[in-house]
A = this chain, B = another copy of it.
Amino acid sequence: MITFSEENYLKAIYHHSKDYPNGVSTNAIAKSMCTKASSVTDMLKKLSEKKLVNYKKYQGVLLTKQGEKKAVNLIRRHRLWEVFLLEKLNFTWDEVHEVAEELEHIKSEKLINELDRLLDFPKKDPHGDPIPDKDGNFTKDIKVLLSTLNEKETGICVGVNDTSTDFLKYLNKQNIAIGKHITVVEKEVFDGSILIKIEDNQFYISHQIAKNLFLQLQ
């Protein structure tokens, strides 16, 4: 039996391993989970015992095949619940994450596969992230940060890099959402802010915003 805590660690390691493919550091995990490095070390030993991670002292950690399978399945559950909350229970996209953090740990395969069916096998969650199918397969399409676009380029908003409530609420207010076409009109060199155009509206966004928005190039 795997505990809530173990599952959360596997998920965090999975996400970090995209950026650090030859070993995720103890500190990185601690920071993203709002815990202490010593707690992480303890957990890594336990996960290693259970053959869910490959871990050697001071060398960083990576998921085993088995660990990755569990992490991907957890992400599947999380994202399906997010879709459910948005589509069926009238939650907004900035509200879904918090509750999905709890729901994702419910242990029932039938539950999650039936939920998948109820939602008509969605491919993306409310933040534009792909939902793995029951075998763990999912397509990750090419997306780039808005901050990397040049002037005159256009893309479709496909996801966010930051899913914090504050950020999502800001996007709601500015009418920025998944599926919207965004054109870079002008880039301000001084502070990195960008003048963008969405549906005939032009306004400035800060660099901080631009580097948390994913676009698919046209």
Binding site for B on A (CB under 8 A): 85, 88-91, 95, 98-99, 102-103, 106-108, 110-111, 114-115, 118
Give which listed residue, B85, B98, B106, contacts A99 with CB less than 8 A: B106
Asked if B106 and A89 sit within 8 Å, CB to CB, the answer is no
Considering only CB atoms, which chain B residue lies closest to A115 in the complex?
Answer: B89
Interface pair A107/B115, CB less than 8 Å apart: no
Q: A88-B118, A89-B110 are in contact. List 12 more A-B contacts (CB 8 A).
A: A85-B111, A89-B118, A90-B114, A91-B114, A95-B110, A98-B108, A99-B106, A99-B108, A99-B111, A102-B106, A102-B107, A102-B108
The answer to whether B103 touches A106, judged by C-beta atoms less than 8 angstroms apart, is: yes
- Chain B residues whose C-beta falls within 8 Å of the C-beta of A91 in the assembled complex: 110, 114
Q: Which residues of B contact A102 (CB under 8 A)?
A: 106-108
What is the chain B residue whose CB lies nearest that of A103? B106
Q: How far is the CA of A99 from the CA of B108 in the complex (A)?
A: 7
A98 CA to B106 CA, complexed, in Å: 11
CB A191 to nearest CB in B, in angstroms, measures 38
Give Cα A88–Cα B108 distance, bound, in whole angstroms: 15
Which chain B residue shows the least CB distance to A95?
A: B110
